[in-house]
Structure 1
Amino acid sequence: MSDNCVRSQDPGLNSGADLKLVKIVGKVEPEAVNCVSAPGGDKTSDVSHGCGLSSSGKQSAEYSVPDDIQGEDAILFYARELDCPHCSARIVSDLKNLPYIADASYNLLTRTLVLIPKEGCSVPDDITDTVRKTVNGYEPDVTVERLEDSNESITTDEGDEKKLFGLDLRNRLITGFVIFVAALPLFYAVQDSMTVRVVSCICFLISYLLSGFEVLTDAFRKIRGSLFSEQMLMTVASLGAVAIGEYPEAVAVMLFYQIGEYFQERAVNRSRASIKALLDICPDRANLETPDGIREIRAADIRIGDRVIVRPGEKVPCDGTVVNGHAGLDTSNLTGESVPRFVSSGDDVYSGFISKDGMITVEARKKASDSAASEIIRLVEKAGERKSGTENFISVFARYYTPAVVALALITALVPPLLFGGVWSVWIERALIFLVVSCPCALVISIPLTYFSGIGAASRYGIMVKGSNYLDALARTGTVFFDKTGTLTRGTFSFAGISSNGTVSDERILQLASSAEHGSAHPVARSVTEEADRRGIAPLKVTDFTEIPGKGIKAVIDGCEVLVGNDGLLHSGNIGIPNLSGSGTVIHVAADGVYLGTLIIADTVKKDSVETVRNLKSLGIESVMLSGDNEKIVASVAAELEIAEYHSSLFPDDKVSLVEERLKQSHCQGKTVVFVGDGINDAPALALADVGMAMGAMGSDAAIEAADAVIMSDEPSKLVTGIRIARKTRTIVMQNIVLALTVKFMLMILGAMGIIGMWFAVFGDVGVMILAVLNSMRMIFRSSSKS
């Protein structure tokens, strides 16, 4: 079937004017999807302005990360042990001020610093030294390494822990805690012995230095750099307690703060390692077949055309084609599918697949670094750079929260004694409680960690989400638009039959149609020509061939003017068409103005499509089916899938208009719109929706590039899984926000009223920080239990 005849059944593929929209390089021309450029470079649908709400999908992505973030010009650095949110924010700010840098960002979880050079500006050769100097100006102990390849995978391995007084942090805290507990009864029980009191104070000093020496040095260094840090706040709070004679409280503040930091760092590092394990799907070694036998090499050294041996239990090291052997492969690393896929000679396989039984020889068609698995790992690692609205809010909130709480501390310390005759020591101690709870670390660390964990968890189910903004948008999905063919249906067409008017034989109708469609590679066309070949019907010579956009083909065959196409093609020639029962794609055939018959091409619904629609409905999400097929076919599929709303006979711009209209409604209700398609033919609609999701993208670089989220398998049910993961992630984020702010505000209120002391305040603040991080890690445990 010619492309245009295929388009006659699916106008979504038609029109040369429309096809220019499909520029598959990862972006769609803004004019094609009716988008405008908003301040700051946002790509914003004009439909989002009607109710004062913004799209949570595209806009956050464009604002947080320039389009060329993954381009060849992006400069990446790994900052080992740069875990301070305040310091990293100042470092990014300083780097943005470099004359040749357009933008900069830092991912706290992957410890990746990304610089985007200005267009037309050359980057100095000493850029690495400049970055190191900037980073070490705030954090002297941080090691900065340049990742020469912007696609290089990011490691999270740590070096040896720094020691002070011959002890690592863990042993310093244990020793300091033991000394602190031993000194408490001496300090409180024996009040009249100067010697005992001096001994207890010396013990407090030792405990204070063991636990807080690093904090003190960091605080004074950052004060010199005019950096308002949590170390400075803890230093002021503890020294303030010393000034009013509350030595145990001074030690407790520093000791419990460092204990909290220790457990937080361990939790975050564990989450980093867990996420890395989730993404550890590519093997390090490969068995290369050579004339001299099998030789083990690094997977990274595989070249295109090399042949590698994959034995039972081993991972496929590269994308390639099986040239010998057969095996059952576990594809769950990439697709999330638990059912083994059996492959033999001629079948494509991908890096990360695991051979469960059988040995195969694979010929590499991509380098290991260019494999689908490597692309997944890179995109998931870089997904943290596309911030959600919540993350951006927390960043702004943190910027103002700490100064505001410090201001409240000053007011608490000064106003009651000066204006109301309060006791200075009492109100200073209460003010110090404000300093103890003034750092929003529980939010600054746990919120990005939750989103990153959610993205990592989704990847284990074969769902690749390109940013936390898209995960956030998925959580608020109100409507899902499905392209019918290949998404809800299999897209594998088979010849179902011929309906003839009785004037000519079925073979003659099939011969005319297959002659017109001869040479087309489209699945519908192949089903016609393959049926003709199966019946031994040879194609006829075609002359005066004309494609009619959106309708079909007009050609002269054996001196007859033959029309092969849809209802519209025959109606344009004033040719009557009988009403046909049944479902399936129809291709009408007419000759010299007379209707001859209709070819019926069948497409079957995927086995999990009905379940997907039902599950979406149970989640309160409306499903809408779009198709270029005629009304009868689409209505039949919609009825089978229990979809109430469907639209037929659509062109690409029709799909865009429908998505645009629904965006207006959904945004005003605080909900988002998801479009699920093949990632290529539906590019304009994918670009316009809050989340454009491509399905069945295994091996399709274009689909991965075009979409905001990708389902690697052909299972629409994975959409439901992705939405559930997104909602779970969103729930944990909100839990952490409510938990952290509630506890902090309660501590401030109770502290101002004199009900709690600094001990309780620091213990509560440290506790909520650890709880928030542990709560964030639930997404990782959820994914790990799945695997």
Structure 2
Amino acid sequence: MTESSLLKTQQMQIGGMDCTSCKLKIEGSLERLRGVTEASVTVQTGRLTITYNPEQVNETTIQDQIKALGYTLATSKSSVALNGQDHHEPHAGNHSHVDDHSHDEHDEVKEQGHGDKYGAGEFNLKQEAPPVLIAVALFAIAILFEQPLHNTPGHIAEFAVIIPAYLLSGWSVLKTAGRNILRGQVFDENFLMTIATLGALAIHQLPEAVAVMLFFRVGELFQEYSVGRSRRSIIALLEVRPDTANLKVNGTVQQVSPGTVKVGDLILVKPGEKVPLDGEILEGKSQVDTSALTGESIPRTVKLGDSILAGMINQSGILTIRVTKPFGESSIAKILDLVENASSKKAPTEKFITKFARYYTPVVVFLSLAIALLPPLFIPGADRSDWVYRALVLLVISCPCGLVISIPLGYFGGIGGAAKRGILVKGSMFLDSLTAIKTVVFDKTGTLTKGTFKVTQVVTKNGFSEAELLRLAANAESHSNHPVALSIRETYTQPISDSEVTDYEEIAGHGIRSIVQGHVVIAGNDRLLHRERIDHDTCGVAGTVVHLAVDGRYAGYILIADEIKADAAQAVRDLKRMGVEKTVMLTGDNKVVAQSVAHHIGLDAFVAELLPEGKVHEIEKLLDPDGKKKLAFVGDGINDAPVIARADIGIAMGGLGADAAIETADVVLMTDAPSKVTEAIQIAQKTRHIVVQNIVVALMVKAIFIGLGSIGLATLWEAVFADVGVALFAIFNALQVLK
């Protein structure tokens, strides 16, 4: 048995995360444990996802490590074994999703104690603001009356104002730094701020010391508010989770938890209520709001016999529904689980920033120490306090908190923003991959076309009328369940009497023969006409065609087409505009039909008459050997599962209620609109742009001020303003993608 087959994933709710470095601290500490392969913390939900080998490290050791860092465990989700590699880990353009997915049962997140539903705690301005406001007042007094205070004997009055302001504004930072040092977690922003401000106090730069701590704390408050806002946005998204179900038992209705309802039970959904579980409508007719699942605002009409999904909102009539799936397997439960856990699959940029910050802070500390100690030793006449001050400026400006929080926040915002639009992205790594797509391959039926056959033309020969030809065809096909036969009967609309149709016979691979009102009618393909030796002058008809002959005489043909989706052509044009170099269609349909669809939509190429394994072979020929230009395959997620698995990015089209789509694809489009592919790429590009923008701005500003501080042209005041400004810019910029 390979090591990868022994890996387990454990999800835990972390409480007490009150600073921007918490994510970095927890991940770094856990990943240093032997047997832990990856740890990922989602700041917005307070959730830890950790992958580890249980033969090398156990759950108790992991929990003890978290507690040793000063955090609490609010709620734990059940562990699941991973079969093979980590879910969807990309490698060389080949990632076999189908076998890698574990079909675990996720327990519902329990609310307990105080704080929000994730156990991460909610930002409380009333509690946080008073100490900061008092510190601001004392600091203002110190600035306004600096000279009189400074002239008191022993500067007693100055210290009496400054020291309380310093402690009020910086106590949480000092306490956290001290606690972390005792636990061996030395290098973080709390440590940087502590040694910077204590150093400023030591060289009697009292106002600067308070300013650094005060503005750092104000910046932290803004950051906590921003993270809280992001968390509330995600919570609002997850509010579609139904809370109760009206269970019908022996003629009475009981209000129960959806989790307790069993398959086959009957539930009642009143107007204005959320549908709590997936099911089939037994009684009633209504309009339902599907926006929570699909992102589309147009109501959908449902009636007797229709399927209905948890998360939809009943708008008008009373519905009686027979439950077809337990709550844990319902579409909404799977969607919510995807949204909540998507951040566990980190993008390369996130991994880089996490590692960068881990080594960056110690380097900055030792560089500052060198600036403080070395120049006075080697430069004649150098003022030691001046160089210590420069070192303090370097410590302040080098704080990495803005990057550490804003990058994951940007990706999480992208995933949440996409979910609001009915696009489920299973991880930030897939957001990154979407931006590199250069080839998009589509399935035809159900993806570019509606998947429903419709009569588009009736062509008559030898004196038959259109109405007569359609009547004969509908009667001849009356006993067939083939989609073509169904479309003909749907177009005919008139009732068909069984007594008028006798001697019905299906001819495999050709069509049917039957007697309609005493006339021998054959209906089928061109091969059937040749087999029956029917003289005809029409063979190469583009599309799906049903030829008819009555008593051995050719009567004409009916043309049937699978209707192209209204936005398919525009979607292809938009993909080209966004930089996609090649659009291709792979289909099992015949070449004539495929060519017609490809030409109408404006695709670059098509391959027809393919079996599923043939589609995989064609995909492999289109993949970029270097893996730089990504290929996306868009299919219905059920028949196309092998191709979705083989592509760089698998996109399931029309995944509403389709288990195979949600399980297999990297991206699930909850409506069947091809334009959603373009929208997914747009969201990914916007997310990527914001993330790169944050990294560039933050590193550029820090580099400039590190240089200015090193040569004595920047003060502590400027350094703290620059640091807080960069952090706030990065965070508020990251929140844009949620809109």
Could you say which TM-score interval applies, normalised by the shorter chain? 0.7 to 0.9
Which residue in 2 is equivalent to 1:147? 77
Which residue in 1 is equivalent to 2:17? 82
Which residue in 2 is equivalent to 1:418? 377
Q: Is residue 169–residue 217 contact of structure 2 (8 Å, CA) maintained in 1?
A: yes
Q: Runs of 5+ in structure 2 lacking a partner?
A: 79-104, 111-116, 516-521
Q: Is residue 68–residue 74 contact of structure 1 (8 Å, CA) maintained in 2?
A: no
Q: Which has the higher contact order (CA 8 A, sep 6+)?
A: 1
Which residue in 2 is equivalent to 1:715? 673
Does the residue aligned with 2:447 lie in a helix, a strand or coil? Answer: helix
Which residue in 2 is equivalent to 1:652? 612
For residue 656 of structure 1, report the CA deviation from its aligned partner: 2.7
Does the residue aligned with 1:316 lie in a helix, a strand or coil? Answer: coil
Which residue in 1 is equivalent to 2:65? 134
For residue 109 of structure 1, report the CA deviation from its aligned partner: 2.8
| Distance across 2 between alignment mates of 1:389 and 1:585 | 47
Which residue in 2 is equivalent to 1:483? 443
State the Cα deviation string for residues 617-656 of structure 1 (Å, max 9, x = none).
Answer: 3323243222222222112112222324322233334433
Q: Is residue 312–residue 358 contact of structure 1 (8 Å, CA) maintained in 2?
A: yes
User: Which of 394, 400, 411 does residue 451 from structure 1 map onto?
Assistant: 411
Which residue in 1 is equivalent to 2:90? none
| Distance across 2 between alignment mates of 1:83 and 1:717 | 41
Does the residue aligned with 1:607 lie in a helix, a strand or coil? Answer: coil
**Alignment of 1:685 onto 2:643:** yes
Which residue in 1 is equivalent to 2:167? 209
User: Amino acid of the residue matched to residue 168 of structure 2?
Assistant: L
Which residue in 2 is equivalent to 1:631? 591
Which residue in 1 is equivalent to 2:393? 433
| Distance across 2 between alignment mates of 1:365 and 1:181 | 66
State the Cα deviation string for residues 368-402 of structure 1 (Å, max 9, x = none).
Answer: 33211111110011110111122122122222322
For residue 683 of structure 1, report the CA deviation from its aligned partner: 2.0
Aligned residues: 687
Q: Is residue 149–residue 158 contact of structure 2 (8 Å, CA) maintained in 1?
A: no
| Distance across 2 between alignment mates of 1:116 and 1:575 | 68
Q: Is residue 585–residue 629 contact of structure 1 (8 Å, CA) maintained in 2?
A: no
Does the residue aligned with 2:563 lie in a helix, a strand or coil? Answer: coil
| Distance across 2 between alignment mates of 1:467 and 1:539 | 58
Percent of paired sites with the same residue = 40
State the Cα deviation string for residues 201-235 of structure 1 (Å, max 9, x = none).
Answer: 12211111112222222212222333222211111
Structure 1 residues 298 and 556 mapped into 2: Cα distance closer, same or farther (>3 Å)? closer
User: Amino acid of the residue matched to residue 397 of structure 2?
Assistant: V
| Distance across 1 between alignment mates of 2:366 and 2:191 | 15
User: Amino acid of the residue matched to residue 142 of structure 1?
Assistant: T
State the Cα deviation string for residues 457-492 of structure 1 (Å, max 9, x = none).
Answer: 111111111111111222232221111111111111
User: Which of 689, 696, 701 does residue 731 from structure 1 map onto?
Assistant: 689
User: Amino acid of the residue matched to residue 561 of structure 2?
Assistant: A
User: Amino acid of the residue matched to residue 761 of structure 1?
Assistant: A
**Alignment of 1:381 onto 2:316:** no
Structure 1 residues 295 and 146 mapped into 2: Cα distance closer, same or farther (>3 Å)? same
| Distance across 2 between alignment mates of 1:92 and 1:699 | 35
Structure 1 residues 211 and 626 mapped into 2: Cα distance closer, same or farther (>3 Å)? same
Which residue in 1 is equivalent to 2:308? 349
**Alignment of 1:611 onto 2:563:** no
The within-5 A match list for 1:536-575 is 537=501, 540=504, 552=509
Question: What's the Cα RMSD here?
Answer: 4.0
User: Which of 647, 659, 674 does residue 632 from structure 2 map onto?
Assistant: 674
**Alignment of 1:293 onto 2:252:** yes
Q: Is residue 512–residue 540 contact of structure 1 (8 Å, CA) maintained in 2?
A: no
User: Amino acid of the residue matched to residue 75 of structure 1?
Assistant: Q
> Comparing 747-756 with 656-665, which one deviates more in the overlay?
656-665
| Distance across 1 between alignment mates of 2:276 and 2:656 | 16
| Distance across 2 between alignment mates of 1:305 and 1:519 | 31
Q: Is residue 365–residue 395 contact of structure 2 (8 Å, CA) maintained in 1?
A: yes
| Distance across 2 between alignment mates of 1:328 and 1:260 | 48
User: Which of 142, 156, 160 does residue 118 from structure 2 map onto?
Assistant: 156
Structure 1 residues 277 and 538 mapped into 2: Cα distance closer, same or farther (>3 Å)? farther
State the Cα deviation string for residues 311-330 of structure 1 (Å, max 9, x = none).
Answer: 22221111111111111111
Structure 1 residues 605 and 185 mapped into 2: Cα distance closer, same or farther (>3 Å)? same
Does the residue aligned with 2:321 lie in a helix, a strand or coil? Answer: strand
Q: Is residue 187–residue 201 contact of structure 1 (8 Å, CA) maintained in 2?
A: no
Q: Is residue 398–residue 706 contact of structure 2 (8 Å, CA) maintained in 1?
A: no
User: Which of 693, 697, 706 does residue 748 from structure 1 map onto?
Assistant: 706
User: Amino acid of the residue matched to residue 697 of structure 2?
Assistant: L
Structure 1 residues 402 and 216 mapped into 2: Cα distance closer, same or farther (>3 Å)? same
User: Amino acid of the residue matched to residue 108 of structure 2?
Assistant: E
Which residue in 2 is equivalent to 1:395? 354
Structure 1 residues 99 and 248 mapped into 2: Cα distance closer, same or farther (>3 Å)? closer
Which residue in 2 is equivalent to 1:106? 41
Q: Is residue 511–residue 538 contact of structure 1 (8 Å, CA) maintained in 2?
A: no
Structure 1 residues 435 and 319 mapped into 2: Cα distance closer, same or farther (>3 Å)? same
State the Cα deviation string for residues 640-686 of structure 1 (Å, max 9, x = none).
Answer: 22324322233334433433333317x67x54221111112222221
| Distance across 1 between alignment mates of 2:502 and 2:337 | 50
> Comparing 750-759 with 442-451, which one deviates more in the overlay?
750-759
Q: Is residue 704–residue 710 contact of structure 1 (8 Å, CA) maintained in 2?
A: yes
User: Which of 298, 307, 331 does residue 290 from structure 2 map onto?
Assistant: 331
| Distance across 2 between alignment mates of 1:507 and 1:272 | 60
User: Amino acid of the residue matched to residue 198 of structure 1?
Assistant: I
Q: Is residue 500–residue 597 contact of structure 1 (8 Å, CA) maintained in 2?
A: yes
Does the residue aligned with 2:656 lie in a helix, a strand or coil? Answer: coil
| Distance across 2 between alignment mates of 1:131 and 1:748 | 38
| Distance across 1 between alignment mates of 2:525 and 2:214 | 79
Structure 1 residues 305 and 555 mapped into 2: Cα distance closer, same or farther (>3 Å)? closer
Structure 1 residues 104 and 644 mapped into 2: Cα distance closer, same or farther (>3 Å)? closer
| Distance across 2 between alignment mates of 1:525 and 1:219 | 75
Q: TM-score, normalised by structure 1?
A: 0.78
| Distance across 1 between alignment mates of 2:284 and 2:140 | 68
**Alignment of 1:226 onto 2:188:** no
User: Amino acid of the residue matched to residue 118 of structure 2?
Assistant: T
For residue 445 of structure 1, report the CA deviation from its aligned partner: 0.8
Structure 1 residues 530 and 329 mapped into 2: Cα distance closer, same or farther (>3 Å)? closer
Structure 1 residues 645 and 68 mapped into 2: Cα distance closer, same or farther (>3 Å)? farther
Structure 1 residues 91 and 276 mapped into 2: Cα distance closer, same or farther (>3 Å)? same
For residue 689 of structure 1, report the CA deviation from its aligned partner: 1.9
For residue 132 of structure 1, report the CA deviation from its aligned partner: 3.6
Does the residue aligned with 1:218 lie in a helix, a strand or coil? Answer: helix
State the Cα deviation string for residues 75-107 of structure 1 (Å, max 9, x = none).
Answer: 221001335565544544554566776654333
| Distance across 2 between alignment mates of 1:170 and 1:230 | 21
Which residue in 2 is equivalent to 1:442? 402
Which residue in 2 is equivalent to 1:28? none
State the Cα deviation string for residues 725-763 of structure 1 (Å, max 9, x = none).
Answer: 112111211221122112211221221232221111012
User: Amino acid of the residue matched to residue 480 of structure 1?
Assistant: V
